[in-house]
Amino acid sequence: MKRLRLATRGSRLALAQSGWVARRVEAKLGIAVELVTVRTSGDRLADVSLAKIGGKGLFVKEIEEALQDARADLAVHSAKDLPARIAEGLVLAAFPERGDARDALVAREAGWHLLGLPHGARVGTGSARRRAQLCALRPDLEVVALRGNVTTRLERLTEQRFDAVILACAGLDRLDLGSRIHERVSADLMLPAVGQGVLAIEARSGEALAADLGALSDAPTARAIAAERAFLARLEGDCNVPLAAFAEPQSDGTLRLRGMVLSADGARVAQVEARGADPVALGIAVAEAVLAKGGAEILAELRREVAS
């Protein structure tokens, strides 16, 4: 049987995640997998603000093109990097079990935690969502833009350019760097990004492989992501928008979904929580409630700022 080609970014984290999925595919489907490294626009423009060059979709575009052109058979993405709508002719075939969805505080000094950082501490992040939530929680902090892969961001901390950096727990765990985490920040303090902690496996729609890959999907994770991505799609969210959504499966079979939109400075927040059995309907309902609660005005202002 032919060997499957799995498209992936070339970062250490992307290769670790794709290697994990490749081993799962080989075990579940009995087909050998080779990794095909694709350099994305987001990788080439590593020193430029994502908001200025088109958002996180730039980590996905070239990988999706490799699928569309049949240079690869499947792809692995960090679900939080996926835009609200994926490319034509492709499908998100599987979502393996979610890792730790929380944000991670990695600090310069042992024992520091988010609410206990020194007044005026310098904190690095490349995320508009994290920046806005940090500003809302701790207006005294100096929040500084920080891009680059996980290793680069940790090096900036070692070089003492920052007092702390905020990363994703799941990424650090997958690189066996969980011991570097000083605080796994509660979702009650910082609501995670849509899809944070989840790997998305993408393939061409209508092909047998797409259906076969469903064997790798975790049903509770898939339901949670359906709700979060429905929220994202309704708000037409992108990298420029500080928004968050986190769905948690409940013992009665429903989902608890929390969603929010913030102004860039964190001064205004529109947040809603609801529960429901239909993931997509729940995501749309929470998005509509956020818009009605002031989110529409916040989004309009954010988009005016970007346009100008």
The tens digit of pLDDT for each residue in 187-235 reads: 999 999 999 999 999 999 999 999 999 999 999 999 999 999 999 999 9
- What region, left, alpha or beta, does residue 30 occupy, with left being phi > 0 and alpha being psi -120 to 50 degrees? left
The pLDDT score that the predictor gives to residue 160 is: 79
Q: How far is CA 137 from CA 141, 252, 267, in A?
A: 9, 33, 10
The pLDDT score that the predictor gives to residue 57 is: 61
Tell me the per-residue pLDDT of 238-276, one tens digit each, with 9 for 90 and over.
767 899 999 999 999 999 999 999 999 999 999 999 999
The amino acid at 226: A
DSSP state of 164: E
The pLDDT score that the predictor gives to residue 82 is: 94
- At which residue do the structure tokens 């835009």 appear? 83
Report all structural domains of the chain as residue ranges with CATH numbers, in order of start: 1-96+198-217 (3.40.190.10), 103-185 (3.40.190.10), 218-308 (3.30.160.40)
Q: Higher-confidence residue: 58 or 165?
A: 165
100 in active site: no
Tell me the per-residue pLDDT of 38-64, one tens digit each, with 9 for 90 and over.
987 655 554 554 445 455 566 799 999
- At which residue do the structure tokens 């024992």 appear? 111
Tell me the per-residue pLDDT of 92-125, one tens digit each, with 9 for 90 and over.
999 999 999 999 999 999 999 999 999 999 999 9
89 pLDDT more than 70: yes
- At which residue do the structure tokens 């309907």 appear? 281
**Of 73, 81, 163, 238, which is the active-site residue?**
81
| Strand blocks (E) in 30-121 | 33-37, 74-78, 90-94, 103-107
Can you read off the two tokens belonging to residue 138?
């701790």
Which of these, 69, 75, 44, 68, lies nearest to 58 by C-alpha position? 44
Taking every pair of Cα atoms in the chain, the longest distance, rounded to a whole number of angstroms, is 61
Q: Higher-confidence residue: 49 or 74?
A: 74
